Structure 1
């Protein structure tokens, strides 16, 4: 459970907010920025250790399943996986397990988020046969300069 307080409450009564953090996580709402989340360090480390253990267990479970079955196990959460070719479904399951473990061990969930975003984009391409055909090549000629990602 997350208790919510306003920034001014933290400023006015830091000991009271600290007492709330002893009981559970505290979300501090700010008007001029993103909310802050106060978590006691001992609970944070326990959560991180649990995430790493879960990631290792998931990787091992998926590694012992036939690749096609591992991909099917992820369909409830990621229904777009069904659009991918069978061999790519299996590769998604493998990439997902590796990214999950890497994210847990690094404490940076952006690794897993990036993997999911890339595979979802791949599924979008496969869902559009015309686009998939264009991207399958072959390509003739030069398509000109590619703008930097910030220019798009």
Structure 2
């Protein structure tokens, strides 16, 4: 199922075009000065929530009983993990699984999503050897300038 997008102002000015769209799909309300919002029928929202929690719990059970299988599944599903050094790959999979297990127990998956993005960006850096060299090499103190902490202290 795909979603349909409308300017946020349509929710106020043209409700007759926004609400009928919910029959077939979720509606994304695009805002200029803030994060977009999603409208969904409660039945569809609850179905997604139930499915996500069930899948997360299933992966959590697999991870608790067969950690190597769970790590293998993550590595296959997230091909960019290959760009991480071996220790980073192990650490990434461990952290992601822990966040997913916690999310399955609490219903809060935002930490998992943030960590997933952070690890992907880290892998993308490792995919560029010249960038890794610049970020992990020695730094010459003369290249830096000391700045005063806002508020007057150091």
TM bin (shorter chain): 0.5 to 0.7
CA offset digits 1:5-59 (Å, max 9, x no partner) = 2334322332442222233211123344433211122322221121111101112
**TM-score scaled to structure 2, two decimals?**
0.60
* Corresponding residue for residue 53 of structure 1: 54
* Unaligned runs of at least 5 residues, structure 1: 135-146
Distance 1:52 1:91 in 2: 24
CA shift at 1:81, angstroms?
A: 3.1
In the alignment, is residue 76 of structure 1 matched against residue 90 of structure 2? no
CA shift at 1:112, angstroms?
A: 0.7
Distance 1:31 1:66 in 2: 44
| Aligned pairs, number | 139
More off after superposition, 16-25 vs 114-123: 114-123
Distance 2:81 2:122 in 1: 9
CA shift at 1:83, angstroms?
A: 5.2
CA offset digits 1:41-89 (Å, max 9, x no partner) = 232222112111110111222333352x533332234334335565664
More off after superposition, 98-107 vs 41-50: 98-107
* Unaligned runs of at least 5 residues, structure 2: 139-147, 150-154
Change (3 A) 1:118 1:31: closer
Aligned Cα root-mean-square deviation (Å): 3.9
